[in-house]
Structure 1
Amino acid sequence: MPRSVRGVLLRSVHPHPAQPIHTMWITDQGPTPLRAGSILLSWAPSLGNGVDVTARLRLASAEVLLANWPGLRGDWTPVVHPTLHEVIGLHAALSVATHALHLANHLAAV
């Protein structure tokens, strides 16, 4: 990972693990607030020629550690893909449910 970035922001994760994970570099210059539901991936060399991969999830009020995969070797995207794909889908479903609840509460108050 280049020194001037803090990681990559996931843009999309295809349902099929063989497809690439589309990302965008996030620079390390100044605070870069992520929007809710965003996943930031970062990695660093680990002992034994592997990499330590970390995923952070931005929630409405905080950025939390989603997962940590230590010592991955070679092409590590198939290892992290299932978690990333499922979390993106889960967050989307929870967002729809939250909006539906707010709408139902609004309609009930009218």
Structure 2
Amino acid sequence: MTHVPADVGASVPVSWSRHGAKVPDGVVLLSWHSTSNGATDTSAQLGLANGEVTLALWPNLRGDWIRVVHPTLHEVLGLHAAMSLAKDALRLANHLLDAH
């Protein structure tokens, strides 16, 4: 996923990847597994330049769990975009300082 709309009712762009594939920088990987009691264990990983981090674990979700998961994805992707912009601005500022 590269963008998650703020509106919970909006669709979420999805792409499939092979199990074990590296999660690209700025992309959230959702994984889910059915449990023996009919619930779903769900997790989210965020790809970073140096690896992946676990964003959240939602054990034993039942029914339509989009309202639980969607806000976290939206917030994390917004935070990642802001941090990426700040990193680029800092890199540019340092480049300009070095040029003087």
Work out whether the TM-score is over 0.5.
yes
Q: TM-score, normalised by structure 1?
A: 0.83
Q: 2:3 aligns with which of 6, 12, 16?
A: 12
Give the aligned residue type for 2:24. Answer: R
Q: How many residues are matched? A: 99
Q: 2:72 aligns with which of 83, 88, 91?
A: 83
Q: TM-score, normalised by structure 2?
A: 0.91
Q: Which protein has the bigger helix share?
A: 2
Q: Higher relative contact order by CA 8 Å / sep ≥ 6: 1 or 2?
A: 2
In structure 2, C-alpha distance between the alignment counterparts of 1:50 and 1:32, rounded to whole Å: 26
Tell me the SS of whatever aligns to 1:23.
coil
Alpha-carbon distance, 1:80 to partner: 0.3
2:18 equivalent in structure 1? 27
In structure 2, C-alpha distance between the alignment counterparts of 1:11 and 1:60, rounded to whole Å: 15
In structure 1, C-alpha distance between the alignment counterparts of 2:77 and 2:10, rounded to whole Å: 16
Tell me the SS of whatever aligns to 1:37.
coil
- Identity of paired residues, percent? 46
* Residue 84 (structure 2) pairs with residue 95 (structure 1): yes
Q: Which protein has the bigger strand share?
A: 1
Give the aligned residue type for 1:15. Answer: A
2:63 equivalent in structure 1? 74
* Residue 78 (structure 2) pairs with residue 108 (structure 1): no
Q: Which runs of 5+ in 1 are unaligned?
A: 1-9
Kept in 1, the 8 Å contact 2:26–2:48? The answer is: yes
Q: Which runs of 5+ in 2 are unaligned?
A: none
